[in-house]
Amino acid sequence: DIHKMREETAQAIDYYSRCEEAAKSAGDADLLAEVSADLAELHMREAERLAGRDEVAASAHAESYKYYLDLETKYVEDCTSRPARARSYRNRAKYARAHGDPSGAIGLYEKSLQNMDEGVASHQFLIPYAKALRLVGRSSEAIAQVRSVLAWSRQIGALRSEAIARQYLGLLLMEQLILGRSDAP
């Protein structure tokens, strides 16, 4: 995770791959689901970062992203961890949204939310859900989701989540002003 934060992708992939081997050796479905999710997310970000600059590398990362996303989905079936299931549905939903299926993504985000602990309104789950709602014309619901992230973030002092919620709320409200919509809650 430290290498991922520092954008040292090769090192992060190396360490995550070592974790994957250890999880396979242990036969631990929870760990396999978790490391597959980490690798899927890392490859997704790299594919996005390299798009338009290095199409060959971006394409390779996109293929790895899909490979690890499929592995995560497979391993989470035997997983006992609700947060791992929530993350898996969220990752699958992000893939659906990015590949032109916002309605399918909404169903997956809702399954993800059903597996989360009650009272948690993390930007990691609700902002992408709000984006999918917006894509199908459900802006009022999207705004309500973002506002719940904002309220939760303030309550627990999660500054990063608060900043992300404020930014996306601003974008949604500006879009409504530009499009002349007045259905915001």
Q: Which two tokens stand for residue 141?
A: 């619901």
**Alpha carbons 172 and 142: distance in angstroms, whole number:** 8
How far lies 115's CA from each of 1, 7, 20, 86, in Å? 24, 30, 24, 5
What is the residue-wise DSSP string for 105-116? HHHHHHHHHHTS
What is the per-residue pLDDT across 110-164, written as a single tens digit (0 to 9) for each? 999 998 877 666 788 899 999 999 999 999 999 999 999 999 999 999 899 999 9
pLDDT-derived band at 4 (thresholds 50, 70, 90) equals low
Instruction: Dump the DSSP string for 61-102.
Output: HHHHHHHHHHHHHHHHTT---HHHHHHHHHHHHHHHHHTT-H
Tokens of 43: 């490859």
Q: Which of 144, 142, 150 is nearest to 167 (CA)?
A: 150
pLDDT for 125 equals 85
For residue 184, pLDDT over 60 is answered with no
CB 15 within 8 A of CB 38: no
- Among candidates 130, 149, 143, 151, which has minimal Cα distance to 169? 143
Helix (H, G, I), strand (E, B) or coil at 181: coil
Instruction: Say how many C-beta atoms besides its own lie within 10 A of residue 13's C-beta.
Output: 19
- Cβ neighbours for 122, distance < 8 A, ≥ 6 positions apart: 116, 149, 152, 161
Give the pLDDT confidence score for residue 183 in this predicted structure. Answer: 53
DSSP structure class, residue 8: -
Question: What CA–CA distance (Å, rounded) separates 21 from 171?
Answer: 42
Q: How confident is the model over 51-101, as pLDDT tens digits?
A: 999 999 999 999 999 999 999 999 998 888 888 999 999 999 999 999 999
